[in-house]
Amino acid sequence: MTEDWKFKKGTIINAHLKDFNDSRWETVTVPHDWAIYGPFDKEIDKQSVAIIQNGEQVPTEKTGRTGALPYIGQAWYRKEFLIPDLKETQKTLIVFEGAMSQPQVFINGRKAGSWNYGYSYFYFDISDYIVEGENTLAVHISNKGESSRWYPGAGLYRNVSIITKNKTSFNQWGTFITTPFISENKAKVKIKSKVSGNNLKLRTKIIDNEGNEVANESSSSLFGNEFEINLAVLNPRLWSPETPYLYTAISELYSNGELKDKIRTRFGIRSIKYEAEKGFSLNGKITKFKGVCLHHDLGQLGTAINKAALRRQLKILKDMGANAIRSSHNMPSFEQLELCDEMGFMFLAESFDEWAKPKVKNGYNRFFKEDAEKDIINLVHATRNHPSIVMWSSGNEVPDQWGTEGVKRAKWLQDIFHREDPTRPVTVGMDQVKATMESGFGAVLDIPGLNYRVHLYEEAYDKFPQGIILGSETASTVSSRGVYKFPVKKASMKQYEDYQSSSYDLEYCSWSNLPDDDFALQDDKDWVIGEFVWTGFDYLGEPTPYDEMWPSRSSYFGINDLAGLPKDRFYLYRSRWNKENETLHILPHWNWEGREGKNTPVFVYTNYDSAELFLNGKSLGVQKKNHSTPQNRYRLMWMDVKYQPGVLKVIAFNKAGEPIAEKEIKTAGAPDQIVLDADRTTIKADGKDLSFVTVSVVDKDGNPCPTATNQLNFKVKGAGAYRAACNGDPTSLELFHQPTMKLFSGKLVVIVQSTHKSGPIELKVTGKKLKSGKIALNSTSSEN
């Protein structure tokens, strides 16, 4: 159900009918985000609003809050699908993994169902609507303005599938696998399976990651409509971020001896425990969350889900040392969870950004009372077998934190999660911490999650009964990749004429703090069980501290920019989180024509405790980490460096004071040549796979040019196609899908997409007065 969809934006009468003529409509592939193609426009969803959760009291005009992209409006999707052999013994389901938003679904001109929440997964039984042969699916989408606090995307942005199977079968999302007992020698695997039919028998076997059968069991005992089977796996290999080992349960359903249905369910064997004072343990080992929050957009791809893009994000985060993801503030994609299972990320799966009280006029508050329970049920049932999920979140910074009604809602939602999944705890990201102390809201939760409020951690720990605190959202430090501002000092909500934020990583928001403050709490307090940083990557919308200033249209919060390129802050987190690899990073860049003799502080982010800095061979002294301030504890800082062009070098020392590593950066000359570097040079010829190519400019000696802003052009030949580009500049209004873009701080990223043909691909990048760059890629058949 991926290709040959027909799409048209606008209000179209009778577009649901089977015989409607859609021949002139645009042909698209699904997943699809209609709004990402732009244009950017400050008038789109312009809001006059006071953002209460940011502490604002007076409404002001916000022009880039939802990304300034045209997501508002109505649209239709149409798709023909074939049911070749219709049998009375079969049933047909249609499954939507996400539709933004309020989809109404029609089969052959008849309405089969509707849903409200744009982030929810849902399905309908369409057996009574289909005919043998050709069928027509039509989906109406409606997006209102003032419905989001960030860029929500638009359309069928996740997968749609048609499932035809026997009426005697496993229920959709009806299998639940848990591992209630684990020892070194044996693990108990409990599998509950809800089914439909009569005279049933269930056979289940478990295979390991190498394909070997390690357990099997059969049962004819039904409890209502549910089987329960317990299997023993000997010498189990446990799932963890370090060793993300997966098993597969293969379940076969028989009726009167005839096989009726068969499903495969991946799972992991692992135990989780949350204990007062001690914290969180995974497989019996105390583990702190080194997590990041992620919105669902994929930068220049918009919200249309793509597994290659998700995998690249997770590889970048894995290299940084992250071990956890929080889906913010909505339900994660199936692909994201599958990758977290495979690559080793613990997951905090979130449900809602609003409950009954609104943050935005047309948000989820409109549907909460009617829909919240069924949305949570679908979230839990569809995803509960993922070992990566270790916690649920029922909400984020909801205005319902005030008063007794909010306490009742928090308990009601938590009870639904517990009923559907008794194995995992529930949290809420709380920003009104004082209010939740007084009302009892925070005491109701399994795990109290604090969004920022580092000054209240001690008080919250004393007043809440759980004996642990989770940094459910931390830092909100802001920076622009490769941009540095002087003088260098801590600042809240700092603004500059170019609408950028300084990459010295000392600027933050009025409600938040610097990364080092959270580091200290986690290092010093066993009861602080970790953090989820806002955010792992920049995202479209919410351009704080410039949400009142056009043309800012994307965030500055990311550890990586919108293109997925690391900011300096990446190396600050990496120096603390990645225990396996060396980190030695110098900032700022060393191209400062006009600053000769002026104070230009140098920071070094490293996992070593001390280092010596040299400028053009002259020592500028040794710095050693200390506890005088949080910044001195986690950074090495030379605050009195006078700029001179040349070579800046740092030598790091081990604990014995011996030189162990060094790094240098040089003042670059004029841009001379374009350099290309792909994250993957071989991609699958499936029409979906992607190669992300980092494009940069170097001088005649090969030194990177960190201030280059050249306009570049892209051309792809062979068995691939140009997909999109992004430079990470939150103020850029260049369209992602056009084959031209300016460098920002000397870099940008071009995405090359496969076709269905195998063969060589060439990306060529050109720019005026620059030697062009080429890179050879290859597309192979999806079977390879």
Q: What's the CA gap between 240 and 342, in Å, rounded? A: 10
pLDDT for 136 beyond 50: yes
Q: What's the CA gap between 737 and 750, in Å, rounded? A: 10
Are 456 and 450 a contacting pair, CB within 8 Å? Answer: yes
CATH topology classification for 673-780 = Immunoglobulin-like (2.60.40)
Are 366 and 315 a contacting pair, CB within 8 Å? Answer: no
The one-letter code for the residue type at 250 is I
The string of pLDDT tens digits covering residues 391-416 is: 999 999 999 999 999 999 999 999 99
Options 2.60.40.10, 3.30.413.10, 3.40.50.200, 1.10.3660.10; CATH for 169-267 is 2.60.40.10
pTM, whole model, 2 decimals? 0.97
Q: Give the domain ranges of the chain.
A: 5-166, 169-267, 280-476+511-538, 673-780
Q: Residue 783's pLDDT band (boundaries 50, 70, 90)?
A: low
Q: What percent of the chain has pLDDT above 90?
A: 97
Average pLDDT, the chain: 97
H or E element in which residue 419 lies: helix 403-420
Q: Residue 57's pLDDT band (boundaries 50, 70, 90)?
A: confident
Query: How many other CB atoms are found less than 10 A from the CB of residue 490?
Result: 13
Are 93 and 125 a contacting pair, CB within 8 Å? Answer: yes
Query: What pLDDT is stored for residue 61 in this prediction?
Result: 86
Are 484 and 503 a contacting pair, CB within 8 Å? Answer: yes
Q: What's the CA gap between 578 and 47, in Å, rounded? A: 41
Span 432-436, average pLDDT: 96
Q: What's the CA gap between 409 and 401, in Å, rounded? A: 9
Query: In which order are the strands placed within the sheet that holds 584-587?
Result: 584-587, 602-606, 636-638
Span 624-648, average pLDDT: 97
DSSP-derived secondary structure letter, 332: P
Q: What DSSP letter does each residue of 47-102 carry, written as one string?
A: EEE--GGGT--S-EEESSTTTT----EEEEEEEEEEE-S--TTEEEEEEES--BS-
For the purposes of burial, counting CB atoms within 10 Å of the CB of 169, is it exposed (0-12), middle (13-18) or buried (19 or more)? Answer: buried
Query: What pLDDT is stored for residue 117 in this prediction?
Result: 98
Query: What pLDDT is stored for residue 32 in this prediction?
Result: 98
β-strand partners of 78: 6, 138
Span 712-734, average pLDDT: 98
For the purposes of burial, counting CB atoms within 10 Å of the CB of 248, is it exposed (0-12), middle (13-18) or buried (19 or more)? Answer: middle
The string of pLDDT tens digits covering residues 215-261 is: 999 999 999 999 999 999 999 999 999 999 999 999 999 999 999 99
Q: Residue 782's pLDDT band (boundaries 50, 70, 90)?
A: low
List helix spans (H) across 525-672.
568-577, 630-634
User: Catalytic site residues?
Assistant: 397, 473
DSSP-derived secondary structure letter, 34: G
Helix, coil or strand: residue 443: helix
Instruction: Supply the CATH classification number for the domain 280-476+511-538.
Output: 3.20.20.80
Assigned token pair, 202: 């269930």
Query: What pLDDT is stored for residue 175 in this prediction?
Result: 98
DSSP count for the chain of H helices, then E strands: 10, 48
The string of pLDDT tens digits covering residues 459-492 is: 999 999 999 999 999 999 999 999 999 999 999 9
Beta strand pairing status for 682-684 and 773-780? Answer: parallel
Q: Residue 60's pLDDT band (boundaries 50, 70, 90)?
A: confident
- Report the candidate in 323, 234, 328 with the shortest Cα–Cα distance to residue 580: 323
Query: What pLDDT is stored for residue 52 in this prediction?
Result: 73
What top-level class would CATH report for the domain 5-166?
Answer: mainly beta
Query: What pLDDT is stored for residue 489 in this prediction?
Result: 96
Cα dihedral 300, 302, 305, 306 in deg (nearest 10)? -10
Q: What's the CA gap between 725 and 752, in Å, rounded? A: 9
CA distances from 280 to 236, 289, 311, 393, 433 (A): 22, 9, 27, 16, 22
pLDDT for 62 beyond 90: no
Are 424 and 392 a contacting pair, CB within 8 Å? Answer: yes
Are 722 and 752 a contacting pair, CB within 8 Å? Answer: yes
Same fold: 169-267 with 673-780: yes
The string of pLDDT tens digits covering residues 745-754 is: 999 999 999 9
Q: What's the CA gap between 713 and 412, in Å, rounded? A: 55
Query: What pLDDT is stored for residue 54 in this prediction?
Result: 72
Q: Residue 30's pLDDT band (boundaries 50, 70, 90)?
A: very high
pLDDT for 784 beyond 50: no
CA 630, 633, 635: angle at the middle one, nearest 5? 100
Query: In which order are the strands placed within the sheet that holds 226-234?
Result: 169-182, 186-196, 226-234, 222-223
* Residues sharing a CB contact under 8 Å with residue 783, sequence separation 6 or more, in sequence order: none
The string of pLDDT tens digits covering residues 175-228 is: 999 999 999 999 999 999 999 999 999 999 999 999 999 999 999 999 999 999
Q: What percent of the chain has pLDDT above 70?
A: 99
